Amino acid sequence: MGLVRREYRDFGPTLIAEYVAQEHGLVVGKETVRKWMIGEGLRKPKRARVGQVHTWRARRECRGELLQWDTSVHAWFEDRGPAKMYLVALIDDATNTLYARFVEADTTEQNMRVLWGYLERYGRPQAVYTDKAAMFQPTLPPGWKTEDPGEKTETQIGRALRELGIEWIAAHSPQAKGRVERCFGTLQDRLVKALRKAGVRTLEAANVYLEQVFLPMWNQRFVCAPASSVDGHRSLEKLEPNSILSVVETRRVDNDHTVPWRGVKWQIPREAISRGMRGSTVRVEHRLNGSMVARVEGKFISLVRCQEEAAVDPTPPRQPGPNRRFKPGPGQSRWMDQFRVKGNEAWRIYRQEQSQTPSLPGVGS
């Protein structure tokens, strides 16, 4: 119990029993640890829950028949790194086989990368079971089911799943996908403490630890045998994952053989231009590696970003003309300043005063 107070105070009884056996050679049952912790006031006994009753659902029979897919936002690094991080997990319904990756944001592109990693390792599953997040189901007004199907009725991930031949099943409540929810509860306990013990502080190091240490340990500790030995995964032959797992939209080819994409023009190379391409619609793919590709008649054409030229004004800027007004310097007088009055009244008074002044001999008036 002194060891628990020093190193494992926030650990659960099961996890404490495993750690003290591996690191300290002390073999003790998890229920014994639980009773000792309750007796020392380090743990409170759980009370029976009274609430809504959910019916039990049997596991799928085959491995790869159904995946439960979800994301958990949690302080995975505690105070050693970012305040929160996203963990995308796919768990097999029949065997509890887990595949997970840390990502910076819960976006379509990041989820596609995680799915691609699973497909390369295990193959295509028969179906995936997710919630109704916006990346899986678009937000549509009432009555959308009566309209013709089109791009607006599916998301980018929904389109990718359709092209991969994977069925998408939506869960109507968190309890419906309870396997992945309970998985996150276990990960938020075990994985957080494992990352603390390993001193992991960055996303890259966390993914390395997941791949090399934690996931093999999980799949050895929690994976169970399926009811059937048949593997439901399918191969990726005759498919283009880098094309399917990308952001795909339809665009019209302009007269200069460019394709607009989010305010930027992309040029079709001259050697790839064919007759009738102008004005046609093509499939444009923004792939996960950042490249832009157009699919024309089954062929993939790499697009080149057009260099934006600075706008040139055809009219030259107007040059200011010369200033003809005299500006006297300091100490210089202006004899006409005394005549700056309204109208010609000052000039009339001046002429009258000049006529009354006697002229000097030899000088004309």
User: Which tens digits make up the pLDDT trace of 116-132?
Assistant: 999 999 999 999 999 98
Average pLDDT over residues 262-285: 90
- Domain tally, the chain: 3
Instruction: Assess whether 15 and 73 both reside in one domain.
Output: no
In a domain, 340, yes or no: no
At 356 the pLDDT is 73
Q: Is 268 exposed, middle or buried (0-12, 13-18, 19+ CB in 10 A)?
A: buried
In a domain, 346, yes or no: no
Instruction: Assess whether 181 and 266 both reside in one domain.
Output: no
The answer to whether 206 touches 75, Cβ cutoff 8 Å, is no
Instruction: Assess whether 97 and 177 both reside in one domain.
Output: yes
Mean of all residue pLDDT scores within the chain: 84
At 361 the pLDDT is 58
pLDDT single digits (tens) 29-85 = 888 888 888 888 888 887 755 555 556 677 899 999 999 999 999 999 998 888 889
pLDDT single digits (tens) 221-237 = 999 999 999 999 999 99
- Residue 202 sits in a domain whose CATH number is 3.30.420.10
Instruction: Assess whether 90 and 32 both reside in one domain.
Output: no
Average pLDDT over residues 270-290: 90
In a domain, 342, yes or no: no
Instruction: Assess whether 126 and 185 both reside in one domain.
Output: yes
Instruction: Assess whether 74 and 216 both reside in one domain.
Output: yes
In a domain, 288, yes or no: yes
320 by DSSP, 3-state: which?
coil
Per the model's pLDDT, the better-predicted residue between 273 and 338 turns out to be 273
In a domain, 341, yes or no: no
In a domain, 332, yes or no: no
Instruction: Assess whether 248 and 300 both reside in one domain.
Output: yes
Residue type, 222: F
Of 305, 327, 346, which closes a domain?
305
Instruction: Assess whether 122 and 213 both reside in one domain.
Output: yes
Q: How far apart are CA 218 and CA 119, in angstroms?
A: 19
Instruction: Assess whether 127 and 217 both reside in one domain.
Output: yes
- Residues pairing with 92 in the sheet: 67
Q: Which residues form the domain of 248?
A: 241-305
In a domain, 326, yes or no: no
Of 162, 187, 221, which closes a domain?
221
Instruction: Assess whether 300 and 254 both reside in one domain.
Output: yes
Per the model's pLDDT, the better-predicted residue between 338 and 303 turns out to be 303
Any residues with CB less than 8 A from the CB of 279 and at least 6 apart, and which?
A: 252, 253, 255
Instruction: Assess whether 194 and 132 both reside in one domain.
Output: yes
Average pLDDT over residues 178-202: 92
* Burial 49-84, CB ≥16 within 10 A → b, else e: eeeeeeeeeebbebbbbbbbbbbbeeebbeeebeee
Q: How far apart are CA 41 and CA 35, in angstroms?
A: 10
| Banded pLDDT at 341 (limits 50, 70, 90) | very low
Please list the alpha-helical segments (H only) found in 264-365: 345-356
Instruction: Assess whether 217 and 71 both reside in one domain.
Output: yes
In a domain, 360, yes or no: no
- pTM exceeds 0.85, yes or no: no
